[in-house]
Amino acid sequence: AAMREAGSGLKTAWRGQITGAGLGRRLANSIRSQTYPKAGESLNAAALVWSKAPVIVGAHDTGPLIRSKNGFWLAIPLPAAGKGRRGAKLTPGEWERRRGIRLRFVYRRRGPSLLVADGRLNAKGLGVASRSKTGRGRATVPVFLLVPQVKLPKRLNLDRDAERALDSVPGLIVANWVEGHLKSY
């Protein structure tokens, strides 16, 4: 009973921390708990609390530095890029293939560099090719920000809650032991 309480308390604390950090209900619901043995009492009882999305939760817990795979740039899509298939983020190559426009690299000394498209913004605010022969409505539209690396902020402190749950176990054992013996008399 004590391990069940400690495990469910830790799960609730982690879920509250994730939603409090603004990471959403779905990520919070990825936190699961299990108590062993599943039925009955045991002196070797244990509780396991884990996430079904450990990479995402771990990244927000540690606050890592994210770099591109081959050491060039990370392309961060701007609103003019739109969405990819099924709402996924677009890559610059995919964007060029879908729109039929070549992206141009613009280096800036201060601030991030850009990938821009020479076209126009449509009514939805997406960068598209300009069909005008006179150049009316043409614009250089920033589509992607290029940064060498991104530091993810540390939003969670899961170790703190785990230590609290661990420290509460002896008190929970005593409380449940006393409660169990008082019922039997």
CB 138 within 8 A of CB 54: no
Question: Chain centroid to CA 98: how far?
Answer: 27
Domain residue ranges of the chain, discontinuous segments joined by +: 1-64+153-184, 66-150
Q: Over the stretch 126-170, which tens digit does the pLDDT of each residue have?
A: 666 666 666 666 677 888 998 888 898 888 888 898 899 889 888
Q: Over the stretch 76-125, which tens digit does the pLDDT of each residue have?
A: 888 878 777 776 778 888 888 887 778 889 888 888 889 988 776 666 65
Q: Which residues of 45-60 are buried (b: 16+ CB within 10 A; e: fewer)?
A: bebebebeeeeebebb
Identify whether 37 is preceded by a cis peptide bond (ω within 30 of 0): yes
